[in-house]
Chain A
Amino acid sequence: MQAWNKVSRMPAAAIKKMQDELFTKMIREELAVRHPYYRELFKESNINPDQIKGVEDISNLPFTEKEDLLPREADLRHPKKFVLEVPSEGEQKGKKKGFALFGKKDTGPVPSDYKFHTLYFSAGRTGKPVPFEYTHHDLRNLKEAGTRAFDVLGLTRDDTMINAFTYAPSAFFWQMFYSTVETGSTALQAGGGKVLGMEKILKAMDNMEAPVLVCAPGYAIFALQTLEHFGFSAGNLERVITGIDYAPMEAVEKMRRLMETVGANDKRVQRMYFLAEAKSGWAECEPDYGYHTNPDHIFVEIVDPESGAAVGEGEAGEVVITHLDSRGTVLLRCRTGDIATGGLVTEPCPNCKRTVPRIMGDIERKAYYFDLHSGEGPVRFDGNRLRKMMIARDDVLVWYLEINRDGNQDALNLVVKGVSGSDEGELLKSLEQELKKEVAVPLTVESATLDAVANKIGLEKFITEQVIFDNRNH
């Protein structure tokens, strides 16, 4: 990766030129040469790497699906096929004598850049976790991505924070850790509710007088809603940085409302978007201004989730990523299954003026689109919309939805626990009414205890809570 103060101010044309160079280099010098999977694929599909001149040629290349990456039952080491082989010492070009006055000399691949250093996994929300290998080169990039994200968020070494991202050997936790260490801010790496539990996290926030809480959105909302129950005040809290799970604007608004209710010092909420496939995460300077990507690290495309065709600037579509500057695990056109509702824009950010491409709008999950069978034929149900709707409500504490097969048709069962003091009967009734407008299949709404719901959604058990359960046998 390059110098951030340069990249973040580059005009779009210069970014495009830089990406063309990085991309062709990656294809010709890395993937076609030392990437077991793509080398094979290029041969099989008669792809000539020399004919790829820039990122506009990317649409001629096949997608990589998540399934391609998964370890096989019979071959746990299958994901190694996506790892660049370590070049032999002989591949390194001999160093020429004399000084390089104009720019760095390309002496060929450096074997130590390719040597395995650490392993992170995808969060495994939708299936088995996928291993991603990081070399030293990747770790440097992860640290750089972390420092950049802090720069975009406006966090400095004067900040004190609780990193309450659930611990997992994953990029999101470690990027956050490295950001704090590299920046020099004071941080408690709490490991989330799964490690410390809500009470200890809140207590640490109180004792450390930490103004910044880094947390998954669902857990942050739950913390703010239950703060008083645990007898803590939020007097020092100034901002919440969310990540791991997607925070639609409804979640941002709700957190702001809650921060105001609990008497926080300020009510700033900022979002981050981590992609295990991108081996890093991106931040927004302010909500709704888009996730500021790193164009010298990852090339982002937005495609139609059905056809796979590229969509126009600012149009909604699936996020597809290609590594421009990675070692270890390297991916080409990997479909993430995430939908960016505002697409990708290359205009400079109207808020912070940084010129890097931004992923706009909310991030939604393709896996949350369900095809349901109603008595009158198939209907589409959008779990993302339901999630937004539930987050927006101030009377809901925790909830989950089950999709069940009932004879020939599907049925939904919504289970909720309202906030303390809410009228349960009213809550169930209004939820039923609201939901019936959304979907034309039989629906039941019931209430349950906090423990039962929290346990089911894995509030302090999983990396982030799971709220939609498809119980139908496919």
Chain B
Amino acid sequence: MEKWEKLSKMPYKEIKDLQDRKLRAFMANQIYLYSPHYSNLLKELKIDPIKVKGIDDLRHLPFTYKWDIAPTDEEPQKAKDFVIRPDEEVTEKYGHLAKMSMTGGKAMVEERVYDFKPVHIHFTTGRTAMPTPFVYSKRDLDNIREAGYRLLDVFEVTPDDIVVNCFPFAPHLAFWQTFFAGEKMNVANFHSGGGKIVGTRNLMDAFEYLRPTVAVFIPGYCYYFLREAVKQGRDFSSIKKIFFGGERVPPGLKDKIKDLFKQLGAGEVMVLATYGMTEAKVAWPECPSHEEYHGYHLYPDLEVFETIDPESGEPVGEGEEGEIVYTSLDWRGTAVLRYRTGDIAKGGLLLEPCPNCGRTVPRISSNIQRKSELKEFSMTKVKGTLVNLNNFFPLMMGHPDIEEWQVEMRKRNDDPFDMDEIYLYVAPKENIDREKLAADLKQKVLRDTEVSLTDIIFKSVPEVVSQLGMETELKEKRILDNRPS
């Protein structure tokens, strides 16, 4: 791992040299030797790892797909083959010289082996496949700590801040990335576990008790939490920054959240976004700016990002729209090569220094259409066309007249062979003309998702909040597919 202060100022050419060097070593010394899946695959395809001279040669390697790694009933242990693990045979083969050494060589080999030993685990949150474990060795925990430090550094969080982590507790990346970030940055913190764990009221009490300067949230819950706080007349005047994970934050929602913080006594709160994926084992920060989007800052010593044409699999040019393909660099535990994330970066990969902060590390465009959590569930066949349910999020979250909402897909008469129906539940703000709102929504939903709603059903805020499972589910149920299969 490089020093962030140095890395983030390196010219791109040096960064690329570094990546080339690291990839060569990683392929030859780790992946080829110790990763059972890739070791077999490379042998099968007769790919000589020595021939991978740098990141430009990645294109000669096959892609890895979610289903290659996700466990199935038949193969529940599949994910283990992606774990870099020197087994006893390998240790024996390569460690014998060190073991014979007079100066504690044996102990050192054992220590090295423990560098690889998994100590911590996260799971993917996908709803279609079985949760896939991604494991961290002790050495990897240093990587996730460093990534967290960098994330907080980009967000200009300092050890004088107090951070409240409101991500729901789970063996998932979001909660733990925030935890490890705080650990490395040495910032005072409170890892609440979210509303489901401590209860919304207790969480508000904790805010007033601690007077934090930074809060970390899932957007949907944050919006609910802040509205409740306004109702109770709470004082959150200490908050300066808030950052989100889990899903994209549409501009309309940013405005709503800033406005709510003003009502809670805070000044101009900076709303920040992160992009992360379980497979990469870290999350990246969006460059902070009140107005413009400058992309997420990547960690080129920990990974390689490629953007490709999702159809042909061919790389696209700098700044061109493409699917994000991720390759681990210098990790132990679970490591993947050319992992197809399914996420589409609308503005592509950017290699120019950031016009906002001047950091030189590669950036991935802020406008990412996520598949990993939403799309696999959302790109679903309703009325015979593929509907991109992602588009409900910016539309509904950013709509000024809407407090809460939920989409439900059903079959007419609950008959699996009958027509698909799509209902929108809406809790509007007070004193809103419902007819006007309904007409507006029907037209906008058609425009953004190319589907016409069966009906819009108006409900009260508490009713929709309860339908969403805001206080009871790990993540609220925004889109329900209740079609019988």
Contact = CB atoms under 8 A, between A and B. Distances in A.
A282 to B, nearest CB: 23
A115 B188 CA distance: 9
Contact of A76 (B121, B209, B474): B209
A186 B119 contact: yes
Contacts of B188: 115-118
Contacts of A118: 188-191
Given A116-B162, A118-B189, A168 B209 contact: no
Interface string A246-280: 00000000000000000000000000000000000
Interface in A72-119: 76-77, 79-80, 115-119
A339 to B, nearest CB: 28
Interface stretch (A43-51, A189-197, A385-393): A189-197
Interface residues of A, number: 33
A186 B118 contact: yes
Contact of B120 (A77, A167, A181, A207): A181
A121 B192 CA distance: 10
A129 interface: yes
A119 B474 contact: no
A28 B28 CA distance: 62
Interface in B132-159: 133, 138, 141
Contacts of A129: 202
A76 B207 CA distance: 10
Nearest to B135: A186
Contacts of A79: 209
Contact of A195 (B76, B77, B117, B474): B474
Contacts of A77: 208-209
27 contacts: A71-B205, A71-B209, A77-B208, A77-B209, A80-B209, A121-B198, A167-B197, A168-B193, A169-B190, A169-B197, A180-B119, A181-B119, A181-B120, A184-B117, A184-B138, A186-B117, A186-B119, A187-B120, A189-B121, A189-B171, A190-B171, A194-B196, A195-B169, A195-B171, A195-B474, A200-B131, A207-B76
Contacts of B117: 157, 184, 186
B170 interface: yes
Contacts of A188: 121, 171
Given A187-B119, A195-B169, A169 B208 contact: no
B15 interface: no
Contacts of B474: 195
Chain B contact residues, majority secondary structure? mixed
B281 to A, nearest CB: 15
Contacts of B170: 191, 195-196
A391 B189 CA distance: 39
Interchain residue pairs A-B with the least CB separation, the first 6:
A167-B169, A119-B190, A188-B121, A116-B188, A76-B208, A191-B169
B142 to A, nearest CB: 11
B119 A76 contact: no
Interface string B56-70: 000000000000000
B423 interface: no
Contacts of A131: 206, 209
Contact of B197 (A185, A190, A194): A194
Interface string B72-89: 000011000000000000
A160 to B, nearest CB: 9
Given A131-B206, A186-B117, A181 B141 contact: yes
B210 interface: yes
Nearest to B211: A77
